[in-house]
Amino acid sequence: MSNSAAFLGVEASLTGRRWVGPDDHHERLAEAMGQATRLPLPLCRLLAARGVAPDQAAAFLAPQLRDLLPDPRSLKDMEKAAARFLQALQRREKIAVFADYDVDGGASAALLLIWLREMGHAASLYIPDRIDEGYGPNIPAMERLAADHPLIICVDCGTLSHGPVAAAKPADVLILDHHLAAPELPAALAVVNPNRQDEDGSLAHLCAASVVFLMLVEANRQLRETGRRGPDLMAMLDLVALATVADVAPLLGVNRAFVRQGLKVMARRERIGLRALADIARMDQAPTAYALGFVLGPRINAGGRIGEADLGARLLACDDPRAAEDMAKRLDILNTARRDITEAVKLEAIAQAEARGLDGPLVWAAGEDWHPGVVGIVAARLKEATGRPAVVIGFDGGEGKGSGRSVPGIDLGAPIQRLAEEGLIAKGGGHKMAAGLSLSREQLEPAMARLGELLARQGAGESGPRDLRIDSIVMAEAAGLALIEQIEAAGPFGAAAPAPRFVIPSVAVSPRRVGESHLRLTIRAAGVSGLEAMAFGAFDGPLGPAFENAGQQLFHLAGRLEINSWGGRSKVQLRLDDAALAS
């Protein structure tokens, strides 16, 4: 538990959490920022927390991709990879794209397929089945592809696939990836990966689609050097943004610029597949980072999780409206089924983890016949609920396949890779925020104990799992559209750059139940009209019942301020995270 004073004196909120606010140092920085920039204090607190100096504020609030885009040639093997890619195009060679089955893999594959199609060249797509083949290249698939494809490009996978890459001879293999690498790389023609051990780590935050995008930037550069033009890459940033958010890449530096620009591209609704998916998901306003991560991303992932592995990638690359509509409907159906499976596994996993204890550096659960396509989602739910790295494993017979999710500041991928090197699991790897592993029943307990030990060395579990971080107070009468628009200029918000959490203090509310479990609060305060708070799933926990008989009681409300657009009108809404009685 934090040693700082509880924010507004809230030691135990309605959900049992302790509120922790900004420290005195950040308050001084925010006040100095406000004096220098004349920006609102809540925004200054956010900028100070992001480490932005007053003279950097204007550039931070309006980032330009051209200023932040790294030189593709700063990555090892990049020039070689782009040159071989263009050589295959020039020779009209058959190209195979071997991709992971998640959003990042699908978007990475779609970038290549679309770029090649605009250059008049088709490519083959291969995405392995999650259950039958597992993650990444496998020897039989690579041998089949190599038989009639002189070039195989592995995206969002391949960095640890020594055997399958060797089996692809005589084909050339390019690897465009971001997962943690071992000291020895596969015998590919090129391995472009910012997480190679011989890289400096400055681009380690890129997802695979960003690596692919940089390779296409380099390919276009090499084309220009010969007097030719490549496709418009700025128009493809919607795919990069989608992958960046869905893969939980930190929204810092160039990633933030990718997502900001990509959202603008997506708002034009020119990508046939994404337009069809947005329509089936009933997205009726401009896309946001939240929509990428929680509306579009899960649907694209659904095919790889429980259905057709390549369905998401094919939708993203689709240029036929009718086919796109059919695929979007299929993904939506699969996503509904995925939610049902996830809920069943989640309930079992939470009960098991609670029985084991939630106070250690690692939270984990393992069960029989838990679908391997949902264990990552359940791990994310455990992580969110406990503030700890979480691992969830499903066993089929004696073999277990698991997935882990981490919290900011704790690297999960490297410790899991170390378990594989130490022989405590069959295989494993990933990146800082997410990783996968395979192990036997006999390995389970020793591996989880060792993983907890490695995570504890990084400080996992030291903060109170029930602490709720508060960024600033906003009085109800100040929570207007102008302020929220200014705050959103500091976004997009996501991994490593969470949306600020504000407290609206000492207000009366009128509660109304929405559906089975949701809660809407109308905030009653002098000079305030139409300000509401929405708490999704409130009646699944203590918040809903606590507000049912609110009467004239005053509450502190904690949550994230957002603009809710409906029917052509916009208003401010607080997405409620927690609340406390105002003494």
Where in the sequence is the domain holding 162, given as residue range(s)? 68-332
**Residue-level pLDDT at 48:** 93
Q: Write the burial class of residue 465 (CB in 10 Å: 0-12 exposed, 13-18 middle, 19+ buried).
A: middle
Q: How far apart are CA 99 and CA 95, in angstroms?
A: 13
DSSP, collapsed to helix, strand or coil, labels residue 158 as coil
Mean pLDDT along residues 152-167: 97
311, 330 contact by CB (below 8 A): yes
Closest by Cα among 220, 212, 201, 217 to 239: 212
pLDDT tens, residue by residue, 117-127: 999 999 999 99
Report pLDDT digits (tens) over 403-441: 999 988 899 999 999 999 999 999 999 989 999 999 999
- Looking at the fold, whether 243 and 366 belong to one and the same domain comes out as no
3-state secondary structure of 110: helix
**Whole-number Å distance between alpha carbons of 208 and 282:** 28
Give the residue carrying structure tokens 């050339």: 172
Q: Are residues 398 and 444 in the same domain?
A: yes
Per-residue pLDDT tens over the stretch 248-260: 999 999 999 999 9
> How many residues are recorded in the chain?
583
CA angle, 458 as apex, 454 and 461 as ends, to 5°?
90
pLDDT tens digit sequence for 85-118 = 999 999 999 999 999 999 999 999 999 999 999 9
Tell how far CA 440 is from the center of its chain.
Answer: 29
Judgement on whether residues 206 and 274 belong to the same structural domain of the protein: yes
Region 483-496: mean pLDDT is: 92
Give me the residue label for tokens 């704790």: 410
> Cβ atoms within 10 A of the Cβ of 32, count?
14
d(CA 220, CA 223): 5
pLDDT (0 to 100) of residue 551: 83
> 34 in a domain, yes or no?
no
The single-letter code of the amino acid at 221 is: R
Beta carbons of 497 and 408 less than 8 angstroms apart: no
Both tokens assigned to 312: 């998401």
Pairwise CA distance, residues 310 & 129, whole Å? 8
Indicate if 432 and 525 belong to the same structural domain. no
Does 318 fall in a domain? yes
pLDDT at 530 exceeding the cut of 90? no
Q: Cα(259)–Cα(177) distance, rounded to whole angstroms?
A: 19
The rounded distance, in Å, linking the Cα atoms of 108 and 146 is 20
Q: Output the CA torsion sign for 246, 249, 250, 253.
A: negative
Residues 537-550: tens digit of each pLDDT: 899 889 999 998 88
List beta partners, residue 98.
Answer: 126, 154
DSSP code, position 293: I
Using the 3D structure, point to which of 399, 427, 457 is the last residue of a domain: 457
Beta-strand ranges (E) seen in 406-466 are 427-430, 434-440
Q: Residue 440 is part of a domain; what is its CATH number?
A: 3.10.310.30
487 and 568 inside one domain: yes
Residues 486 and 390 in one domain: no
- Closest among 294, 297, 250, 272 to 104, alpha carbons compared: 297
Rounded to two decimals, the pTM is 0.90
Let me know whether 151 and 184 are in one domain.
Answer: yes
28 in any annotated domain: no
| 7 assigned to some structural domain | no
Of the candidates 21, 18, 20, 43, the one whose C-alpha atom is nearest the C-alpha of residue 30 is 43
- What's the whole-number mean pLDDT along residues 61-70? 94
What total of structural domains would you count in the chain? Answer: 3
In the prediction, which pLDDT does 5 show?
A: 85
pLDDT of 464 reads: 57
Same domain, 411 and 509: no
Q: Would the pLDDT of 505 be above 50?
A: yes
Given 457, 485, 512, the domain boundary residue is 457
Q: Does 176 share its domain with 322?
A: yes
Task: Look at residue 1 and tell me whether its pLDDT is greater than 50.
Answer: no
pLDDT in tens, 286-308: 899 999 999 999 999 999 888 78
Residue 8 lies in a domain: no
CA 375 to chain centroid, in Å, comes to 16
What value, to the nearest 5°, has the Cα angle with vertex 273 and ends 271 and 279?
100
Phi and psi, residue 339, nearest 5°? -60, -40
CA distance 17 to 559: 13
CATH assignment of the domain containing 522: 2.40.50.460
Q: Count of alpha carbons within 13 Å of 374, Cβ hemisphere only?
A: 24
Q: Cα separation of 570 and 324, whole Å?
A: 31
Question: Is 124 inside a domain boundary?
Answer: yes
* Domain final position from 407, 427, 457: 457
Q: Looking at the structure, do residues 244 and 320 belong to the same domain, yes or no?
A: yes
Could you tell me what percent of the chain has a pLDDT over 70?
A: 98
Classify residue 463: in a domain, yes or no.
no
Half-sphere exposure of 104 (CA within 13 A, CB side): 25
Q: Are 157 and 105 in contact (CB under 8 A)?
A: yes
Answer yes or no: do 394 and 255 share one domain: no
Express each pLDDT in 361-402 by its tens digit.
Answer: 999 999 999 999 999 999 999 998 888 999 999 999 899 999
- Is position 352 within any domain? no
Which amino acid, residue 296? L
Start-to-end C-alpha separation, the chain: 23
Residue 220 has pLDDT above 50, yes or no: yes
Strands (E), 269-398: 363-368, 390-396
Q: How far is the C-alpha of 72 from the C-alpha of 221, rounded, in Å?
A: 10
Contact (CB, 8 A) for 392 and 349: yes
Question: From CA 446, how far away is CA 398, in angstroms rounded?
Answer: 16
Give the chain's mean pLDDT.
94
Q: Is the dihedral of CA 443, 449, 453, 458 positive or negative?
A: positive
pLDDT at 170 over 60: yes
Same domain, 573 and 525: yes
